[in-house]
Structure 1
Amino acid sequence: MSIDREPSASLTPFSGLTPDAVLDSLDAVGLRGDGRLLQLNSYENRVFQVFLEDGSVVVPKFYRPGRWSDEQILEEHAFATELAQAEVPVVAPLALVCDSDARMAIELSGHPPTLARSPAHRFAVSPRRAGRAPSLESMEQLEWIGRFIGRIHAVGSRQPFLHRLTLSVDLLGRSSRDWLLQSGMVPPDAEPGWLGVVDDCLLAAAEAFDRAGTLQHVRLHGDCHLNNVLWTDAGPHFVDLDDAMNGPAIQDLWMLLSGDKASYRHQIDALLRGYETMMNFDDRELGLIEALRTLRLIHHSAWLARRWDDPAFPAAFPWFGQAAYWQQQTQVLREQLNAMRTPGYIQTSS
């Protein structure tokens, strides 16, 4: 998930980020690459795996200009560091040190300094952590993951984010709808049907939040899907807190559900068995799952539209914007509307 408060600062924000620029940036913080680097799968930012002369491997992340403020990035870094200090398996950024002999001048921010600013980009560096996707069919693995998400939220409940965003229907849904309408990306013949079901979905999502009432908000991972949970023999570890925000606990649980309604119930049971050994869970939040899924669908369309001037996006998502895409989205959102209107669509078996 990616949330913008303003458009990208450039139509080609990473055009100057050549392999030499990546290595020079790392050299400026005393991390000497041996010349080997691999670009990893990331559309929002640019992320690389870089081999160093000392034999270690690091992962620098170059932030998309105009998306987050320095304060928001540093809050993400501070949260990751706080989690790591609490022995929660989250990949935290490395503390950086300027190398006065390097050819590139940079500025460092943070306590300790974790954010570097070069003439063209801001970046952070983390150690490489390997792993594989967990199995959604393994209740043992889901319980283990739930236990560690509970530990993340126990730390996250200590204080709120001050600069990062707070999850809401307005943030994910209404602002995305409004941006898409203003962008002209929805074809005129598809707009009435799409807009009608989006408005109905946003109303149903708002009603779901109203029924849930006042819920505890904690600092969240924010984008806790399978690609951001790496499994090893020692258990899970969590990567990419780029979308960390304030919100209800269920936001970090529902994206780990897959399959039919029966599968959902078994999976959420397993996740919560682990979660509640570390953190209390408010069962009212279960009524938000389909609302959150719906908001993510609407927001994803807006994310693609916002990034369409970035050359990487038309190449990676050639189907976006075609009439068939909006017809398919309209149908999927109708199904989501039905799910939100079905009482007890997802609930635990307990």
Structure 2
Amino acid sequence: MMNATPYSKLTPDCILNALDSAGFPCDGRLAALNSYENRVYQIGMEEGLPVVAKFYRPGRWSDAAILEEHGFVRELAESELPAVPALAGGDGSTLHAYQGFRFAVFPRQGGYAPEFNDDAILERMGRLLGRIHAVGALRPYQARPGIDIAGFGEEPRAYLLAHGFIPTEFRDAYRDTTERALEQVRRCFERAGEVARLRLHGDCYAGNVLWTGDGPHLVDFDDSRMGPAIQDLWMLLSGDRIEMGRQLGHLLAGYETFFDFDPRELHLVEALRTLRMIHYAGWIARRWEDPAFPQAFPWFESPGYWHERVLELHEQTARMAEPPLWSI
């Protein structure tokens, strides 16, 4: 059974000693960065610039899955793409262990959040994603799971219904609404047909994009999986259908400079959005015994939260029955 408080022994001394043990001598400066799934810190070095250390949540990924992610990011960097690969330690490995914790060390990447309502930024972001997907399509992951209906929809739904997080008055409504939503998700996948799956960033939203004078950098490939290309595009879209279509048009104008896009994948936009909604609630539920989660998500067990989720999924079911989003 996974430890309910997996980070209780990850003290500042443990963190600094862990980096020293891997060949990264620290100067004692340590600042926690925003992260719930893992624990991430900026740490000062005795020589050179600070680094970022990620301590992986115990039990989530196998060593092989973590090293596959590191390998993909290294491939991107070797292809002169703005990705931030993990640093090798004294033993030449990018995955380190100390007192039961596994961790990786990265160069610190600065930057600011881009404005995705700017057409030029969207096209530049599309070019970057096209180049990333061209590398991602070269070989499949072997140890990391894919994005699918079972893992992102059926399993988290079953977990939520089985573990009492949903208030009694919304339990039947959530069960029925998610059942109808997943029926529509399956229809969307049927309409799209067999689409190519490739190595993706997997969690490509604005918070994982940093903009510098050299353009965009993608950070945090922790959720990298096999899936359809549209997964790395749809989360950059916002607004109504017309606005999202306009944004998508600019993204694809840049994207198709480097990689072909299969328009059948547009059938999956709202289906993938629906799966993300269900998966997100299931993710919080599965982490609830980690003390950081009730503190960060105090509204999770409130009736108001689940009322909103039922309405949201009802609306998604209607959207998935509509014609797919088209680029403008």
Which category of TM-score, normalised to the shorter sequence, fits these structures?
over 0.9
1:216 is aligned, of 196, 207, 212, to 196
Measured after TM superposition, the shift of residue 24 of structure 1 is: 0.5
Q: Within 1, Cα distance between the matches of 2:129 and 2:56?
A: 25
Secondary structure of the structure 2 residue equivalent to 1:209: helix
Q: Within 1, Cα distance between the matches of 2:48 and 2:93?
A: 23
Q: Does structure 1 residue 203 correspond to structure 2 residue 216?
A: no
1:57 is matched with: 50
Q: Does structure 1 residue 29 correspond to structure 2 residue 22?
A: yes
Q: Does structure 1 residue 240 correspond to structure 2 residue 212?
A: no
Q: Does structure 1 residue 143 correspond to structure 2 residue 123?
A: yes
Secondary structure of the structure 2 residue equivalent to 1:37: strand
Q: Within 1, Cα distance between the matches of 2:144 and 2:160?
A: 23
Gap regions ≥5 residues in structure 2: none
1:91 is matched with: 84
Equivalences for 1:124-273 in 2 at 5 Å?
Answer: 124-273=104-253
Superposition misfits of 4+ residues, deviation over 2 angstroms: none
Counterpart residue identity of residue 347, structure 1? W
Counterpart residue identity of residue 8, structure 2? S
Gap regions ≥5 residues in structure 1: 1-6, 99-111
Q: Within 1, Cα distance between the matches of 2:17 and 2:308?
A: 45
2:37 is matched with: 44
Q: Within 2, Cα distance between the matches of 1:273 and 1:121?
A: 43
Contact 2:24 2:89 in 1 (8 A): no
Measured after TM superposition, the shift of residue 263 of structure 1 is: 1.4
The farther-off stretch of 179-188 and 222-231 is 179-188
Counterpart residue identity of residue 228, structure 2? P
Percentage of pairs with the same residue:
50
1:16 is matched with: 9
Contact 2:188 2:268 in 1 (8 A): yes
Equivalences for 1:323-338 in 2 at 5 Å?
Answer: 323-338=303-318
2:288 is matched with: 308
Measured after TM superposition, the shift of residue 120 of structure 1 is: 2.1
Q: Deviations over 1:243-271 (max 9, x none)?
A: 11111000000000111112101110111
Measured after TM superposition, the shift of residue 300 of structure 1 is: 0.6
Q: Deviations over 1:83-115 (max 9, x none)?
A: 1101111111001115xxxxxxxxxxxxx5110
Contact 2:22 2:90 in 1 (8 A): yes
Q: Deviations over 1:317-344 (max 9, x none)?
A: 1000111111110001111111111123
Q: Within 2, Cα distance between the matches of 1:83 and 1:234?
A: 16
1:347 is matched with: 326
2:98 is matched with: 118
Measured after TM superposition, the shift of residue 348 of structure 1 is: 1.0
1:71 is aligned, of 58, 64, 77, to 64
Counterpart residue identity of residue 316, structure 2? Q
Secondary structure of the structure 1 residue equivalent to 2:226: strand
Secondary structure of the structure 1 residue equivalent to 2:181: helix
Measured after TM superposition, the shift of residue 167 of structure 1 is: 1.2
Q: Give the TM-score, by structure 2 length.
A: 0.98
Q: Within 2, Cα distance between the matches of 1:131 and 1:309?
A: 34
Q: Within 1, Cα distance between the matches of 2:172 and 2:28?
A: 53
Q: Does structure 1 residue 291 correspond to structure 2 residue 271?
A: yes
Contact 2:146 2:226 in 1 (8 A): yes
Q: Within 2, Cα distance between the matches of 1:334 and 1:181?
A: 17
2:297 is aligned, of 276, 297, 317, to 317
Measured after TM superposition, the shift of residue 122 of structure 1 is: 0.2
Q: Within 2, Cα distance between the matches of 1:342 and 1:214?
A: 20
Counterpart residue identity of residue 327, structure 2? T
2:256 is aligned, of 244, 267, 276, to 276
Q: Give the TM-score, by structure 1 length.
A: 0.92
Contact 2:18 2:97 in 1 (8 A): no
Secondary structure of the structure 2 residue equivalent to 1:190: helix
Secondary structure of the structure 2 residue equivalent to 1:35: strand
